[in-house]
Structure 1
């Protein structure tokens, strides 16, 4: 019998992949027939752990997820944030042992798709493999930006850059607009992502608010002066390839 939850999950995957490079009708239908199981996760609940050998990939349906590495004494470095439509562990199709962990950053709903089903799909539809490969290349471009920020940007510019990036990613999947977007992250999350202390995060947020660039209202980010935020971050969105996605 049809499963509405699975239909919603796979339709979201179709929309995400279609936005990257375009799919044929046959490819869309094949994706919609993939087996998937959904699960509700609580904040910080692990999806897959460092050292695991997973047999399925995870598609984010609701909420946010994050990749992270846990160091000694419980210190955590967040490596990336993921929003609905993202498949943050695609590499597990080919790199069988996880070298980092993936968890829900907020309360989230995810769908699990078996590796065997995905491998069969990409063997039958090589263009789907190309689209997935392109998605991982864009993911790698985001990593390079984060590395540049951690090494060379000030805390102020680093935080401004993250806010610009997340706003545009959310806008691309119709989850943001008019320079307003959800930002359901704690100051600890921001500290772990930006390589700062919570005290430094608090001080930097106050500085950004004090400059009139943005406002935080609960879990909502409002960018009051977008062009100036972009300038403060030295933000060039080329690495997200959003214009190319839209054109295609």
Structure 2
């Protein structure tokens, strides 16, 4: 049986007195889940201890989700914000044939709050690529968070701008770069994104994606992705073992991709 304890916040929108909104308590072992989200937001707008405590409270909504689980269907309208606390998820488009194009990665600290904020339907689906820990934060709780913690709200606005810029870069990646260059660019981007949330050590990070996932991201065939990875290995730019990627020559890889991290 899941244990819950009241972690209360004040909802300032209710006149005539404050309303307390209980949150589920974090499950045992979830204490460190909020660190990626806090690191990401703190880099934009320095957070207070109260801000950090509020983010930690959201881990009470986190649950394990198996790989290849659709979290939100295309054209669906969510009544909650989705937050990735562990694992890789994606934004993707599918054709009636089943063909898939991944249009964004959601890594720890990333979220989708379009439904919670605006009630608009998504023009794509949200799907896990690996086993994840995902929080579904109810709309009312999420709006309380933004209202009570302006630094968090500001940082999330910046995060949305970075996500939009990343989408533009991915379009340019597919439209203007060779298969080798676009793969190098994606690996450079992941190095920066995962490094910013403390998930890179000595140039190494977990890359639990399949070659099919990478192919559907890069607009290549899985056979082409395999050849590109072999080329990057042979040229001494990367090593990849047991889904653990190490960037051996970051400067050369950035030069190959013409990678500039400013958009992140």
TM-score (norm 2): 0.84
Structure-2 residue corresponding to 1:4: 26
Deviations 1:174-219 (A, max 9, x none): 1112111111110100000001111111121122112111111120
Pick closer, same or farther for the CA change 1:28–1:206 going to 2, 3 Å. closer
Quick one: structure 1 residues 94 and 9, their matched pair in 2 at CA, closer, same or farther if it must change by over 3 Å?
A: farther
User: What is the 5 A alignment of 1:18-29?
Assistant: 18-29=42-53
| Residue of structure 2 equivalent to 1:169 | 193
Map of 1:124 onto structure 2: 148
Task: Give the whole-Å Cα distance in 1 for the aligned partners of 2:158 and 2:87.
Answer: 24
Q: Deviations over 1:79-134 (max 9, x none)?
A: 111211111x1222225211111111101111111111111232334333222111
Structure showing greater Rg: 2
Which of 160, 165, 176 matches 1:136? 160
Cα 1:209–1:14, aligned 2, differ >3 Å: closer, same or farther? closer
Runs of 4+ with deviation above 6 angstroms: none
1:91 to 85, 103, 114: 114
Higher mean alpha-carbon deviation, 157-166 vs 90-99, is at: 90-99
Alignment of 1:65-104 (within 5 A): 65-87=89-111, 89-92=112-115, 93-104=117-128
Partner Cα distance (1:113, 1:91) in 2: 12
Q: 1:178 aligns with which of 184, 187, 202?
A: 202
Q: Structure 1 residues 8-17 or 45-54, which shifts more?
A: 8-17
Q: Which has the higher mean CA deviation after the structures are superposed, 116-125 or 1-10? A: 1-10
Q: Secondary structure of 2:97's match? A: helix
Identify unmatched segments of 5+ residues in structure 1.
241-248
Pair 1:27–1:230, CA change in 2 (3 A)? same
8 Å CA contact 1:35, 1:117 repeated in 2? no
SS at match of 2:41: helix
How far apart, CA to CA, are the structure 2 residues paired with 1:232 and 1:11? 32
For the aligned residue pairs, the C-alpha RMSD in angstroms reads: 1.9
Which residue matches 1:159?
A: 183
Residue pair 1:36, 1:112 contacting (<8 A) in 2 also: no
Number of equivalences: 239
1:148 paired with 2:203, answer no
**Deviation readout 1:7-52 (Å, 9 max, x if unpaired):** 5555654443223211234434444455842221111111111011
| Residue in 2 that maps onto 1:189 | 213
TM-score normalised by the chain length of structure 1: 0.89
